Amino acid sequence: MNLLALAVPDYAASDFSEETWWLTLIKAVFIIVYLIVNVLIALWVERRGLGRMQTRPGPNVAGPLGLFQAFADAGKLLFKEDMWTRGADKFLYFLAPAISAFCAFSIFAVIPMGPNVQVFGRSTPLQLADMPVAALYILAIASLGIYGIVLGGWSTRSTLPLYGAVRSSAQVISYELAMGLSLVSVFLMSGTMSTSQIVAAQGRVWWAFALIPAFVIYCISACGEVNRLPFDLPEAEGELVAGHMVEYSSMKFGWYYLSEYVNMLNVSAIATTMFFGGWHAPWPISHIEFLNSGWWGMLWFFLKMWFFMMLMIWTRATLLRFRYDQFMSLGWKWLMPIALVWLVMVAVVRGLTAWVEISLPVMGGVVLAVFLLVLAVLWLTDSPEPEPTDPADEEYTGFADGFPVPPLPGQLPVQSPRAARAAPVTVATAVIEEGNDE
């Protein structure tokens, strides 16, 4: 067996020719168990990781190194009192968390976790299903998950959950657009929307390096998509407590909590599939045929997925929460225009390489240089922010842009007519009293 192959590995898409119904059932059950186990790992890793990054111990009582803390939390959610709000729409109130959990678990169905392997004498890919538009399936299921958020806030007939649901739906929709645009450039370069074929197309170079702007936009949008710091505005504890989940308890809250962590795994798996070569081994291990085939693919996929999970945990421990206007401005005024400009450039490159004999790396370098030049021009021509002024130098009228506002530090509040009439009398009385004392 040739363990060291110097040629570039030739990858193939998933082959479902020997698939049977019982193999599909086994893989479906495995995906559910795989995601739940990874959520338990994520709970422990995140708490211990945040503790180390923020100079505190983290969970260290429930079991050795706090390993049983996730099981303790699961038991608490299972046996906690299940409350139902009096004015809630019972059916939608129960259906909303089920929608979120169902959509979260469904995305992994088209994620390739490895090549074809032998299972009970049959060749089957380590993937539940694939289709020519598998990437559109991912985007569609992610969009359906918004209904779980919106219905969860609306069905409670309460103010704060509704505010949280509206804020969360606006956030998810805004950042899904930027995420979708970043993925379109991957579709153009791969020539397909099948997830297994996209993985196979990254035999020479991972799209994270060839499509750096799209990769960065995806990573930022993914944090906004799953409501993670610094983008957890729908669940800002100082404003909306827990967003659309305020009125939920017990396992109805647990389904929301579970779907949030499963969605973290989803965006990490999608990043691995679309930009990091999927289950392929990293260079130079990819040239060793034995370590780049068979069940080894699951190990590389797991490590790459957890690389993105650790990035999100690291981001949570480091950055502070955005203001909501800053957050929406980032999505609509920066990420989407940049993604559109990059998409047009990638489309031009694909068109030129189809008509002119120009090597793809050279053309890609030219496009990247032009893209960075455009960004520099936009950055330099951006209107500067107005210089800050001292509030004490501005006259306070009690209104700003037609709305009543409180005085800023250094500004004197507007006196009422009664206080204005009483002020001279008070001053005169004080002068007389001062003269009597002398």
Give residue-wise pLDDT tens across range 296-354: 889 999 999 999 999 999 988 888 877 777 888 888 888 898 899 889 888 888 877 76
The answer to whether 326 touches 336, Cβ cutoff 8 Å, is no
For residue 191, give Cα distances in angstroms to 13, 122, 305, 413.
Answer: 13, 30, 24, 65
CA–CA distance, 15 with 37 (Å, rounded to integer): 27
Residue 1 CB coordination number (10 Å): 4
Contact partners, residue 366, CB within 8 Å, separation at least 6: none
pLDDT value of residue 4 = 39
The answer to whether 197 touches 190, Cβ cutoff 8 Å, is yes
Task: Give the highest mean pLDDT range of 6-10, 111-115, 157-161, 203-207.
Answer: 111-115
pLDDT value of residue 426 = 47
The answer to whether 234 touches 160, Cβ cutoff 8 Å, is no
The answer to whether 198 touches 271, Cβ cutoff 8 Å, is no
Residue 384 CB coordination number (10 Å): 5
Which has more pLDDT, 353 or 124?
Answer: 124
Contact partners, residue 37, CB within 8 Å, separation at least 6: none
pLDDT value of residue 417 = 66
pLDDT value of residue 361 = 64
Burial string for 110-123 (b: 16+ CB within 10 Å, else e) reads bbbbbbbbeeeeee
Cis peptide preceding 284, ω within 30 of 0:
yes
CA–CA distance, 273 with 132 (Å, rounded to integer): 15
Confidence of residue 286 (pLDDT cuts 50, 70, 90): confident
Residue range 21-33: mean pLDDT, rounded: 93
pLDDT value of residue 428 = 44
- Quick check: helix, strand or coil at residue 399? strand
| Residues facing residue 288 across a β-bridge | 4
Least confident of 107-121, 235-249, 272-286: 235-249
CA–CA distance, 321 with 313 (Å, rounded to integer): 14
* Six token digits for residue 404: 């009543």
At 270, give phi and psi (nearest 5°). -65, -40
Whether residue 9 has pLDDT greater than 70: no
Plot region of 437 (φ>0 → left; ψ -120 to 50 → alpha; else → beta): alpha
CA–CA distance, 194 with 136 (Å, rounded to integer): 9
Question: CA angle, 106 as apex, 101 and 103 as ends, to 5°?
Answer: 40
Residue 316 CB coordination number (10 Å): 17
pTM of this prediction exceeds 0.85 = no
CA–CA distance, 404 with 421 (Å, rounded to integer): 24
Whether residue 2 has pLDDT greater than 60: no
pLDDT value of residue 390 = 66
| Mean pLDDT score across all residues of the chain | 81
